[in-house]
DNA sequence: ATATATAATGACAGTGACTGTCAATTTAAA
DNA sequence: TTTAAATTGACAGTCACTGTCATTATATAT
């Protein structure tokens, strides 16, 4: 490839402008969505507000949805998960990784995430794209878990474990959507704590 | 509403024609998808093959996706679930309901379901719509479970239970997609049996 | 500093799903 | 047979998204 930047800030003028345009598009997009609604806002309007041509929009984001959904949470999660000690169980490791992932975000990132998540839950188009992403994340978790346990990638129990986690995340999102006052990270941890105790299946009166 | 038909077959000419058109659209659609691919097949072509106008298509199906995804599995599941005796646990009841639901299908329906599911898994557009439906089903399961346990509709543990089930179903679908030789109903039961034993969380080396 | 390669952009012309309206036709009910 | 209602098709329009091409901006080599 190219000589990777060994240090962070070492970008040419080109890269810098591109990053600026990206941010502008996302900010203007979110502003317009807030103001006029997601469906009512056209890509032409976002492009105009960002002072680029409509065609250029698609060189930055493959779809209108990506403007809202793009994030690098997965990478953070992977990193955190891999760092977890071997002594603890899968769920414990996953719970800890999630906690660390959230903790590593700035206040601003957390606010943005919350707003984008709320929008995602209320726009079917976005919810669909988000769920596809969760589907992919399921496979990712299965991979991480299999590696950790030294089991094959398509181990059935491992797949079910990953499914359990993603199902929990779906339920957490729905819960948070219905209870906007509760903190997403807290609810997530609460859910994972529940699973850590092995609860919501045959025990506890269920 | 209107005087509900107390017996099955009691449809006017109108209803009969509509049902026939629906079936024709689905059959011709699936045939064209099989032959030319989902994306490559336009609604105009489906309409022409079904001998109706393109505008009429949307009076039968709200979207192109609905042509593939429409089913009444949920109703069957609800019915079966409600009939389960009170003595067994949630999972046991759910597992039994799922089993009965599958058993109640004709061979033809099972074949059709399998084909539509395979198509769904391989077309992002369809997968997205299918996942949205699963999201809704999660809420439905939560409702059923809450009723059964006499708990509030938004009980946190109940939501997590429902999430667990739907996560398992996601994992089952992915597994079946990667192992086309295995039977979907069998894999589903295998997964639920696993949960019935309370496995894939803290126990069994996970 | 100048020339040259490369990357980014904008203008343009499409495609196809989906929406809305309206008049014509078909079926059901009186 | 008349009347009301449902179904349909034709049509025009919107918008996300794709592909192509010439133009412009940036980076690199001389």
Nearest-neighbour CA in chain B from A103: distance (Å): 24
Instruction: Give the containing element (helix H, strand E) for A47.
Output: helix A43-49
Same structural domain for residues B35 and B80? no
Domain boundary (B64, B83, B99) is at B64
| Closest to B163 in 3D by CA, of A119, A25, A169, A113 | A169
Diameter of chain A measured on Cα atoms: 62
Contact of B67 with B42, CB cutoff 8 Å: no
- CA→C1' distance for A54 and C11 (Å): 10
Same structural domain for residues A187 and A109? yes
- Taking the C1' atom of every nucleotide in all shown strands and the CA of A65, the nearest one is D16
Would you say residue A153 has pLDDT above 70? Answer: yes
Would B205 be classed as within a structural domain?
Answer: no
Q: Hey, what are A107's tokens?
A: 């206040």
A138 closest CB neighbour out of B91, B129, B171: B171
Q: Hey, what are A15's tokens?
A: 């890269």
Same structural domain for residues A26 and A117? no
Contact A132 B129 (CB under 8 A): no
Structural domains in chain B (count): 2
Q: Protein footprint on strand D: which nucleotides are under 7 Å from a CB? A: 6-12, 14-20, 26-28
Nearest-neighbour CA in chain B from A13: distance (Å): 36
Q: Hey, what are A189's tokens?
A: 């941890």
Would B140 be classed as within a structural domain?
Answer: yes
Would B6 be classed as within a structural domain?
Answer: no
Same structural domain for residues B174 and B82? yes
Q: Per-residue pLDDT tens for A77-114?
A: 999 999 999 999 999 999 999 999 999 999 999 999 99
Same structural domain for residues B75 and B53? no
Q: Per-residue pLDDT tens for A39-87?
A: 999 999 999 999 999 999 999 999 999 999 998 888 999 999 999 999 9
Nearest-neighbour CA in chain A from B125: distance (Å): 9
Would you say residue A7 has pLDDT above 70? Answer: no
Q: Protein footprint on strand C: which nucleotides are under 7 Å from a CB? A: 7-13, 16-21, 27-29
Same structural domain for residues B60 and B120? no
Same structural domain for residues A53 and A90? no
Domain boundary (A23, A43, A63) is at A63
CATH number at residue B21: 1.10.10.60
What is d(CA A72, CA A68) in angstroms, rounded to the nearest whole number?
12
* Residue of chain A minimizing CA distance to B188: A160
Same structural domain for residues B51 and B82? no
Task: Give pTM, 2 decimals.
Answer: 0.90
Q: Check residue A206 and give its pLDDT.
A: 62
Same structural domain for residues A58 and A151? no
Nearest-neighbour CA in chain A from B91: distance (Å): 7
| Closest to A194 in 3D by CA, of A178, A171, A160 | A171
Task: Give A65's contacts (C-beta < 8 A, 6+ positions apart).
Answer: A125, A126, A129
| Closest to B161 in 3D by CA, of B139, B181, B186 | B139
Q: Check residue A82 and give its pLDDT.
A: 95
Same structural domain for residues A103 and A187? yes
CATH number at residue A192: 1.10.357.10
What is d(CA A151, CA A147) in angstroms, rounded to the nearest whole number?
6
Interface test with A, best of B136, B159, B171, B204 (most A CBs within 10 A): B171
Domain boundary (A46, A63, A80) is at A63
CA closest to C18 C1', residue? B63
Tell me how far CA of residue B149 lies from CA of A29, A126, B37, B66, in angstroms. Answer: 45, 33, 46, 34
What is d(CA B79, CA B134) in angstroms, rounded to the nearest whole number?
18
The backbone region for A183, taken as left when phi is positive above 0, alpha when psi lies in -120 to 50, beta otherwise, is beta
Contact B167 A166 (CB under 8 A): yes
- Identify the domain containing residue B177 by its residue range: 71-196
Would A206 be classed as within a structural domain?
Answer: no
- CA→C1' distance for A10 and C4 (Å): 25
Would A202 be classed as within a structural domain?
Answer: no
- CA→C1' distance for A17 and D26 (Å): 11
Angle CA A192–A195–A200, to nearest 5: 130
| Closest to A164 in 3D by CA, of B140, B149, B203, B102 | B203
Would A187 be classed as within a structural domain?
Answer: yes
Same structural domain for residues B119 and B77? yes
Would A105 be classed as within a structural domain?
Answer: yes
Mean pLDDT of chain A: 90
Same structural domain for residues B84 and B50? no
Contact B161 A206 (CB under 8 A): yes
Would you say residue A119 has pLDDT above 90? Answer: yes
> Tokens 């609460």 map to which residue?
A190
The pLDDT averaged over each successive group of 10 residues in chain B (206 residues) is 37 81 97 97 98 97 96 90 93 95 92 94 96 96 95 94 96 96 96 84 56
């Amino acid at each position: 490839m190219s000589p990777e930047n060994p240090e962070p800030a070492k970008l040419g003028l080109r890269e810098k402008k591109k990053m600026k345009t990206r941010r502008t598009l996302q900010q203007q997009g979110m502003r317009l969505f807030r103001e006029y609604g997601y469906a009512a806002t056209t890509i032409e309007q976002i492009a105009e507000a960002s002072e680029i041509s409509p065609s250029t929009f698609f060189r930055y984001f493959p779809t209108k949805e990506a403007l809202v959904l793009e994030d690098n949470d997965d990478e953070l999660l992977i990193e955190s998960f891999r760092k977890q000690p071997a002594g603890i169980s899968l769920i414990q490791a996953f719970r800890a990784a999630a906690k660390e992932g959230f903790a590593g975000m700035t206040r601003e990132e957390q606010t943005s995430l919350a707003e984008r998540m709320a929008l995602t839950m209320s726009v079917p188009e976005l919810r669909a794209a988000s769920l596809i992403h969760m589907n992919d994340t399921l496979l990712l978790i299965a991979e991480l878990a299999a590696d950790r346990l030294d089991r094959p990638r398509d181990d059935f129990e491992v797949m079910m474990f990953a499914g359990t986690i993603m199902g929990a995340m779906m339920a957490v999102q729905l819960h948070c959507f219905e209870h906007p006052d509760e903190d997403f990270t807290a609810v997530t941890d609460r859910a994972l704590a529940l699973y850590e105790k092995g609860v919501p299946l045959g025990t506890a009166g269920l």
